[in-house]
Amino acid sequence: MESHSRRREFEDQALVYLDRVFHLALRLTRNRTEAEDLAQETYLRAFKHFDQFDPGTNCRAWLFAILRNAFVNQVKRQGREVLGLDEGELERLEADVLDGARTIESPEEELLRRVVGADLVAALDRLPLIFREVVVLADVEECSYKEIAQVCGVPMGTVMSRLSRGRRLLRRWLERLARERQGLRSAR
C-alpha cells in the first residue's frame, strides 16, 4: 500500500505540472523530440526521488530544477558548452542574437506564435540559453526570482542580472525588426 499511496501523492503533486515541464523543456531544447525525452527523464527522476520532495513546498520549482539539471547533463554529454559565459562571449552573443539564428518549428511553437506572435517566439529562440531560461521562467512560467534562483542554482542577483540582459536582448532585436519593417513600409 505504501507504494500505491506514494504513487498517488506523486500524481497529485507533480503530474499537474506536466504541460509546464514540457513547455520549459521545449523552450530550452528548441526541439520537440528532445523536449519530450527531457520531460520524461525529469518525471522519472522526480518519481525516483519523490521521497526527497518536501510536501508543502513548491513542486513546480522542484520539477523545474530537476529538468534544468537533466538538460545541463544532456548538453554536457553532447560536448557542448552549457551556461558558462565570460563578458566577451556575452557581447558576441548579443551580436549573434541581432544577426539571427535558426529556429525550430513544432505544434507548440505554432500555438505560441498565434498567441504571442511570431516575432517574440523568434526573439526568444535567438536568446542564448543563459538568458532564455530565466526569461522563460520569469515571463512565461511566472516564477518568482527566488524560484528561478532555486531552479538555476544561482544567487537572486544573478537571476536579476540575467533577466535584465535577456529582456534587453529581446527588446533590441524586436526594436531592430520594427525599424526594418518600418523601412520596408516606407519604401513601398
What is the pLDDT, as a whole number, of residue 103?
A: 43
The DSSP-derived string for 77-126 is: HTT---S---HHHHHHHHHHHHH-------HHHHHHHHHH-HHHHHHHHH
pLDDT digits (tens, 9 = 90+) for 80-134: 655 554 444 444 444 444 444 434 445 555 544 454 567 777 788 888 989 999 9
Assigned fold of 1-82: Rna Polymerase Sigma Factor; Chain: A (1.10.1740)
HSE value, Cβ hemisphere, 13 Å, CA-based, for 21: 29
Q: Which sign, positive or negative, has the C-alpha torsion 117, 121, 122, 123?
A: positive
Mean pLDDT of the region 1-15: 82
Domains 1-82 and 86-188 share a fold: no
Which grid coordinates are listed for 43?
A: 518525471
Percent of the chain with pLDDT over 90: 39
Q: Give the separation between CA 173 and CA 13, rounded to whole angstroms.
A: 39
Per residue in 54-72, pLDDT tens? Answer: 888 889 999 999 999 999 8
Looking at residue 140, the DSSP 8-state letter turns out to be I
Domain ranges for the chain, please list them: 1-82, 86-188
**pLDDT score of 182 more than 50:** yes
Q: Which residues contact 135 (CB under 8 A, 6 or more apart)?
A: 124, 127, 163, 166, 167, 170
Average pLDDT of the chain to the nearest whole number: 80
CA 91 from chain centre, in angstroms, equals: 21
Torsion (CA) 96, 86, 68, 124 in degrees, nearest 10: -20
Say which CATH topology domain 86-188 has.
Arc Repressor Mutant, subunit A (1.10.10)
pLDDT at 121: 75
Q: What span, in angstroms and rounded, lies between the C-alpha atoms of 101 and 6?
A: 44
Q: Regarding predicted confidence, which is higher, 187 or 23?
A: 23
